[in-house]
């Protein structure tokens, strides 16, 4: 039986952060049961895709999945359990620290969720306010203390390159967070996405983006600092203590089969790729009508799959195994991509040994330049 990785999108948030372009809707109590029932119906509709599969990870992302009552999350897990074979070592739920509730955290842990991913972004209250986060650092600390009693494996998300953030502020954030000893850290540089409040603020001249060289300095500082604190840099934006790399996200970077549920969730399974509608009404109408809520379905030809596998695999610090690619696609990427590889090696962006092609430190900073070569 083939492995499968499951993503469940819970698209509700209490407020909208200024940089966020994820598909989210304002949280309303009356949506909880309805959305949970829709998800369960979608699981039934996708039962053929779940057949003869072993589910290795489940990831509740959002939005803010932790807003959902534990009983609803449990019900979704039970539905999956009845529909497919689950042999997972990792079930993650994303949480917003704005409402510390220990009983809720304990319930999530009791139902088998064993990885908590908390969106902190910064330890600086002025920065949190600027970002539109609905919590301050003290509230996060209360939440973290409660979470620690129930979760051994915690990820903390941080942002750098935020307008108004200095290198010293970033150093302070890292130091504070490391003192809490989370098992995993995801550090993303703030990107200004279309259709965000931040984008409009910049266009109106209300906010000036940080200079690129300062952002690069922040990233380089994190790489060096986290290494001295025992964190393994295993993907461009992700660090973990030994043994705590996120199995679910690795499935994306290795371009393995995953199945998404919920509004806007994407899937890659059996040589096909498809995405659910981002429109919650269309999603609901399709499911109630017994139809899959898919809006974009494409066959995945081997060339496209190869490109994606190379492009995503290069994000990982262990690099791309030429042997694995050869086994999976029957071609030797060293020769297939010889021009591209030569170019990025000559530019000092990538290094190559007998079996691995991996990013150099310069390549990590200029990842997009490298990836463009292979796209």
Dist CA 260 CA 258 (whole Å): 7
* Nearest approach, Cβ of residue 316 and ligand SF4 (Å): 24
* Nearest approach, Cβ of residue 6 and ligand SF4 (Å): 19
Closer residue to ligand SF4, CB minimum distance, 190 or 310: 190
Closer residue to ligand SF4, CB minimum distance, 21 or 176: 21
Instruction: Look up residue 58 and give its two tokens.
Output: 């489940």
Interface with ligand SF4 (CB under 6 A), residue from 6, 8, 10, 13: 13
Largest CA distance in the chain: 58
Closer residue to ligand SF4, CB minimum distance, 188 or 334: 188
Kindly indicate which of the ranges 38-46, 62-70, 136-144, 298-306 contains the residues binding ligand SF4, using the contact rule CB under 6 A: 62-70
DSSP state of 85: E
183 and 155 Cβ atoms separated by less than 8 Å:
yes
Does residue 20 interact with ligand SF4 by CB under 6 A? Answer: yes
**How far are the Cα atoms of 76, 119, 152, 310, 342 from residue 326, in angstroms, in the given order?**
38, 38, 38, 11, 19
Instruction: Look up residue 305 and give its two tokens.
Output: 């799959």
Termini Cα distance of the chain? 31
DSSP state of 316: B
Does residue 66 interact with ligand SF4 by CB under 6 A? Answer: no
Closer residue to ligand SF4, CB minimum distance, 62 or 363: 62
* Nearest approach, Cβ of residue 13 and ligand SF4 (Å): 3
160 and 189 Cβ atoms separated by less than 8 Å:
yes
Backbone angles phi, psi at 86, to 5 degrees: -115, 120
Does residue 24 interact with ligand SF4 by CB under 6 A? Answer: yes
Does residue 199 interact with ligand SF4 by CB under 6 A? Answer: no
Nearest to 222 by CA among 242, 208, 236: 236
Question: Judged by CB under 6 A, how many residues of this single chain contact ligand SF4?
Answer: 11
67 and 15 Cβ atoms separated by less than 8 Å:
no
**How far are the Cα atoms of 244, 271, 311, 338 from residue 268, in angstroms, in the given order?**
25, 7, 16, 28
Does residue 8 interact with ligand SF4 by CB under 6 A? Answer: no
Dist CA 290 CA 53 (whole Å): 23
Return the H-helix or E-strand segment holding 116.
strand 115-121
User: One symbol per residue from 347 to 366: x for binding ligand SF4 (CB under 6 A), - otherwise; what is it?
Assistant: --------------------
Dist CA 298 CA 50 (whole Å): 19
Kindly indicate which of the ranges 61-69, 187-195, 251-259, 296-304 contains the residues binding ligand SF4, using the contact rule CB under 6 A: 61-69
Residues 100-159 that bind ligand SF4 (CB under 6 A): 119
Residues 280-339 that bind ligand SF4 (CB under 6 A): none
Nearest to 273 by CA among 242, 247, 294: 294
Does residue 96 interact with ligand SF4 by CB under 6 A? Answer: yes
Kindly indicate which of the ranges 9-17, 144-152, 160-168, 223-231 contains the residues binding ligand SF4, using the contact rule CB under 6 A: 9-17
Closer residue to ligand SF4, CB minimum distance, 13 or 226: 13
Closer residue to ligand SF4, CB minimum distance, 55 or 131: 131
* Nearest approach, Cβ of residue 35 and ligand SF4 (Å): 15
Q: What residue ranges bind ligand SF4 (CB under 6 A)?
A: 13, 16-17, 20, 22, 24, 62-64, 96, 119
């Amino acid at each position: 039986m083939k492995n499968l990785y499951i993503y469940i999108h819970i698209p509700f948030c209490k407020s909208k952060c200024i940089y966020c372009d994820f598909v989210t809707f304002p949280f309303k109590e009356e949506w909880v049961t309805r959305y949970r029932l829709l998800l369960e119906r979608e699981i039934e509709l996708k039962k053929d895709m779940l057949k003869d599969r072993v589910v290795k990870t489940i990831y509740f992302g959002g939005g803010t999945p932790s807003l959902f009552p534990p009983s609803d999350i449990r019900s979704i897990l039970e539905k999956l359990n009845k529909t497919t074979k689950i042999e997972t070592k990792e079930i993650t739920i994303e949480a917003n620290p704005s409402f510390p509730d220990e009983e809720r955290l304990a319930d999530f842990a009791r139902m088998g969720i064993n990885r908590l991913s908390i969106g902190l972004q910064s330890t600086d209250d002025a920065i949190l306010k600027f970002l539109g986060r609905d919590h301050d650092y003290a509230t996060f600390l209360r939440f973290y203390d409660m979470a620690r009693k129930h979760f051994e494996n915690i990820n903390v998300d941080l942002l750098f390159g935020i307008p108004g953030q200095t290198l010293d502020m970033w150093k302070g954030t890292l130091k504070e967070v490391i003192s809490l000893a989370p098992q995993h850290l995801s550090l993303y540089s703030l990107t200004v996405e279309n259709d965000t409040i931040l984008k409009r603020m910049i266009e109106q001249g209300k906010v000036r983006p940080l200079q690129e060289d300062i952002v690069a300095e922040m990233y380089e500082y994190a790489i060096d600092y986290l290494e001295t604190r025992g964190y393994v840099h295993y993907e461009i934006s992700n660090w973990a203590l030994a043994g705590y790399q996120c199995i679910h996200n690795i499935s994306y970077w290795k371009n393995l089969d995953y199945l998404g549920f919920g509004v806007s969730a994407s899937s890659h399974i059996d040589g096909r790729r498809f995405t659910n509608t981002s429109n919650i009404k269309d999603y609901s109408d399709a499911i109630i009508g017994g139809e899959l809520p898919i809006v974009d379905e494409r066959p995945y030809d081997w060339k496209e799959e190869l490109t994606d596998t190379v492009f995503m695999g290069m994000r990982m610090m262990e690099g791309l195994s030429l042997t694995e690619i050869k086994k999976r696609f029957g071609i030797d990427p060293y020769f297939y991509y010889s021009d591209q590889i030569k170019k990025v090696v000559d530019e000092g962006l990538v290094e190559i040994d007998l079996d691995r092609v991996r990013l150099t430190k310069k390549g990590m900073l200029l990842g997009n330049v490298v990836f463009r070569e292979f796209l």
